[in-house]
Structure 1
Amino acid sequence: MIVVKIGGSVICKGASTAIRNLPKYADKAVVVHGGGCLVNELMKRMGIEPKFLTHPGGLVSRYTDWETLKAFVMAMSWINKSIVASLHGMGVPALGLTGADLGVVKAKRKEKVLVVDERGRQRVVDGGYVGRITEIDASKLAPPPLRVLAPIAVSERGELLNIDGDQLAFDVAKRIGAEKLVLLSDVEGLYIGGRVVPRLTAEEAERLVQNEEVKGGMKRKLLMAAEAAKAGIEVVISSGLVEAPIDAALNGAGTHVVG
């Protein structure tokens, strides 16, 4: 089994090559997708300005209040069904799910979160409708048909929650016992000194998180990749914008993090 995460940057710049590569893996893959840029576009059309929170360590997340949650669910559902429709057009039976469908991904709402404000001070703010994954029902993810999973969970109180797409992909990979996790992004891998680092151990990935060249979402990816590698899952961070990007990633392209 493998897990393929189609990042939001790929969704918004063009996911056609990634989607065309999926039929080859339809009998052994679970697909997770992002799509933050479409959420932003939809919010602006609704007259809502997207807001982001900076956390200690430099990680950034979307602030999800009630109106943002509605835009998030609408955008992610559109992306999810668009991928499913494309797969059906190629003769591949596919099932698009949010975590709320069949209760496949359950999460606990983050009531409070620690952030760093514009003055560099740490403070606690309301967590909004963002969730921390607590349970994944792997029995509902095994193909066939090919599952396409959106980063939306359901709480024990029946709330829809925004969950981090990368975290969802890592948790799914661990839960289904995947051999490899392919993270398709708009970059060719982890760049250090202007070059892609082809291979890292889990320990090397953890150390590189402190490197000033590693910023934003790549920090989170490396931390989670290190954890996954220690659990026996090889993680590949690679470009989703090239031809046959899943093939390329599995054949050595990108940055491979191993235990």
Structure 2
Amino acid sequence: MKPALSVIKIGGNVIENNTELTRFLKLFAAVEGPKILVHGGGKKATRLSEKLGIRTNMVGGRRITDKKSLEVAIMVYAGLINKSIVSRLQAMECNAIGLSGADAGIIQAVKRPPAPVDFGFVGDIVSVRTNALCTFLDTGLVPVFCALTHDEKGQILNTNADTIASELAIGLSKDYSTTLFYCFEKSGVLSDVEDDHSVIPHINKQTYYSLIKEKTIGEGMLPKLENCFHALDHSVHKVCVGNIDMLQAKPSIFTTLTL
């Protein structure tokens, strides 16, 4: 029987709120067994860009990463946020190690093609090398990944953190029974975006297609759910979506996704 592994992605709104981030890190540190944390940090990158006089360009809610924006992303994601999280976890006796996809060559990506939209230095993941990760996990280390990958030619690429979490969970599923957690500010997938209490407790693939057909799910949630079912289709055991309370030992309301 494969050992259980938790891959937990934390959303930007929690990172922005120091009180919520502290509470999350305490809950994360208490999660038993092997675990991995994945984080983004787009809002902090946007603020630093503004201070530096670098314009942030978005298309369809997605960031255009030019050369200067990439430099900011590296500073903020791999530096400011990642090392702050790692140091705070160390203070909670959680032996974290901060990583990007370039470290140990773990996550390889290719630069996204310029058509139909040129997103600049944005990476689409090609493969995940799990040997180094398994070594870290076997020695009790807790990897903390920022949203950066590399192309094996020396180029760092900005990459969606949800996708990184999904691909890590998929890559490790041959060695572990992986559960993927997407933690953000909502309590789960909502049947009514205006009602935070309208959490759909369980979604399988059949339910998912029905919800899309009925236009029940908000457009902003669709890319996250695509990542969820992509993971489930590639041997991830289970995916959970909700706020940080779902990491508590006692039951809470959130959405569980299965095939």
- How would you bin the TM-score normalised by the shorter chain? 0.7 to 0.9
Deviation at 1:154, TM superposition (A): 0.7
Q: What secondary structure does 1:81 align onto? A: helix
Q: Which residue of 2 aligns with 1:3?
A: 7
1:107 counterpart residue number: 109
1:25 deviation in Å?
2.8
Aligned to 1:130: 122
Q: Whole-Å Cα distance in 2 between the matches of residues 168 and 206 of structure 1? A: 24
- 1:169 is matched with 165
Establish whether residue 21 from structure 1 lines up as the match of residue 27 from structure 2: yes
Contact 1:153 1:162 (8 Å CA) reproduced: yes
Equivalent-residue separation in structure 2 for 1:191 and 1:12 (angstroms): 23
Aligned to 2:179: 180
| Corresponding residue number in structure 2 for 1:237 | 241
Q: For the structure 1 residues 211 and 86, does the alpha-carbon distance in structure 2 shift closer, same or farther, using more than 3 Å as the test?
A: farther
Name the aligned partner's letter for residue 170 of structure 1.
S
- TM-superposed CA distance for 1:125, in Å, is 3.2
Residues 57-107 of structure 1, C-alpha deviation per residue, up to 9 Å, x if partnerless? xxx321111111111111112111111000111122111001111111110
TM-score, normalised relative to structure 1: 0.86
What is the 5 A alignment of 1:1-259? 1-13=5-17, 14-25=20-31, 27-54=33-60, 60-77=61-78, 78-113=80-115, 124-142=116-134, 143=137, 144-177=140-173, 178-193=177-192, 194=195, 195-209=198-212, 212-230=215-233, 231-240=235-244, 242=245, 245-247=246-248, 251=251, 253-259=253-259
Residue 110 (structure 1) shift: 0.9
Quote how far apart the aligned CAs of 1:209 are: 3.9
SS in 2 for 1:187: coil
Say which structure is richer in strand: 1
Worse-superposed segment, 196-205 or 162-171: 196-205
CA deviation after TM superposition for structure 1 residue 202, in Å: 2.1
Number of residue-to-residue matches in the alignment:
240
Name the CA distance, whole Å, in 1 between partners of 2:169 and 2:125. 13
Distance 1:92 1:148, change over 3 A: same
Structure 2 unaligned residues grouped into runs of 5+: none
The alpha carbon displacement at 1:217 in A equals 3.8
Gaps of 5+ in 1: 55-59, 114-123
Deviation at 1:49, TM superposition (A): 2.4
Aligned pair in 2 of structure 1 residues 206, 52: CA closer, same or farther (>3 Å)? farther
Q: In structure 1, how many angstroms separate the alpha carbons of the residues matched to 2:152 and 2:214?
A: 39
Distance 1:211 1:67 in 2: 42
- In structure 1, what is the Cα distance between the partners aligned to 2:75 and 2:236? 35
Q: Which amino acid aligns with 1:184?
A: C
Q: CA deviation at 1:167?
A: 0.5
Whole-Å separation in 2 of the counterparts to 1:207 and 1:224: 17
The answer on whether the counterparts of 2:172 and 2:178 sit within 8 Å (CA) in structure 1 is no
Change (3 A) 1:199 1:162: same
Higher relative contact order (CA 8 A, sep 6+): 1
Q: Report how far residue 210 of structure 1 moved.
A: 5.1
Secondary structure, in 3 states, of the residue corresponding to 1:80? helix
Q: CA deviation at 1:211?
A: 5.1
CA distance in 2, matches of 1:209, 1:102: 39
TM-score, length-scaled by structure 2:
0.86
Amino acid at match of 1:61: R
Contact 1:4 1:182 in 2 (8 A): yes
Name the CA distance, whole Å, in 1 between partners of 2:77 and 2:98. Answer: 11
**Counterpart of 1:73 in structure 2: which amino acid?**
I
- Give the equivalent residue in structure 2 for 1:117: none
